[in-house]
Amino acid sequence: MKRASLVTSVAFLFALGCGPKGEPKQANIPDPVTEEGTASSGSGTGSSSSSGSSTSGASRGSGDILGSPTKDDPKAAGKGSKGEATTVANLGSFMDGGLKWGMSHQDVTKLYTDNGGVIWKDFDEKLAKARVGPEMNAIENMREDQKRAFARSYIEFKDTPTGYDATAIKGEYTYKNKEALMWIAREGKPRRYFFFINDRLWKIYDEVPLSDSGVYGKAYIDAVNTLNAKLGAQGRILGADASKGINATTVDWKDAGNHLRVVDRSGERLVAVVLEDNGTLSNLASLRQNKAEDPTAVDPSIAAVTGGQNRTDPNAPNPAGSAKPAGKQPATKPKK
């Protein structure tokens, strides 16, 4: 009897030691993306930004946190099919503050600057705590300054280059295609750009700071995992590829009407969270009929001359079988 009890106790302890440790993962939460996992499936295409991690560059030989998935590991791209962005149920929560696709820049201006609008509400709490007099007047002046600055931020991309060409958003617009933008930097909020084409809002671009206390964490990979968890699906991973207009590592998702991408700008301690209208995105090729000119390209007429197409060498030997040019005939003496 004692021997049987001893055997039972040993078996119980052995089973306890071999059991699972910690809480099991929930089936509806995607596994977090790790630098090691993405390194094995990365394409090796680098971006100009820093990863914010001491190991990512060494593991991949580039500045990318994530690389695009390989053909051997198609699951790394999430649930997108045939190279498409991962499909999720709803991205509507990223369209905040009463914004709607197709709004004109005047509509967006009114939404933010009218009494009771977005900027007005930003100052409600400060004004409620301010003392009547100079303190309240100063806060009201700040509010009015921000309203005027937002209205003045509107710029159209016509023929003349702009200062935005020297920024990270350069690839988000084109010239001479009726495109424009506005921007605003509200206190405690990320800098936001509003993109228009034919005076219709079609893209919202947020520059979100990366930090320990930031909403998306301190590194790009933290931002990706935060969004994966929020959306319930791993986004498609795209490595930087200038030929496709992808300037930095990007992860994206889509729903029926929107496309969301998160772009690695960790070299600036930022992550870009970009929401776009699917309808406009699918028609960009026809909307952007004027293509960018290469400022370093040589004029065709000059290229024709310097390229040698119209030049012949008078001392070059004649091809076989060709007629010889007539030589100079000696002068004949006149008869007497």
What integer pLDDT is reported at residue 225 of this predicted model?
Answer: 97
Could you tell me which residues are beta bridge partners of residue 124? none
pLDDT recorded at residue 97: 83
Residue 108 φ then ψ, to 5°: -65, -40
Please state the rounded mean pLDDT for residues 22-27.
43
pLDDT higher than threshold 60 for residue 260: yes
Which pLDDT score, from 0 to 100, does residue 41 have?
40
pLDDT, tens digit, for every residue of 158-189? Answer: 999 999 999 999 999 999 999 999 999 999 99
- For residues 119 and 146, the answer to whether their CB atoms sit within 8 Å is yes
C-alpha dihedral over 226, 230, 232, 235, to 10 degrees?
-50
Q: Contact at 8 Å (CB) between 30 and 228? A: yes
Of residues 317 and 111, the one with the higher pLDDT is: 111
- Residues 49-91 pLDDT 10s: 433 333 333 333 334 445 444 444 444 444 544 589 999 999 9
- Split at pLDDT 50, 70, 90, the class of 48 is very low
Enclosing H/E stretch for 274: strand 270-277
pLDDT for res 96: 86
pTM over 0.95: no
Report which of residues 305 and 89 the model is more confident about: 89
**Mean of pLDDT over the chain:** 78
Indicate the pLDDT class of residue 307, thresholds 50, 70 and 90: low
> What's the residue count for the chain?
336
Q: Which residue has the higher pLDDT, 272 or 53?
A: 272
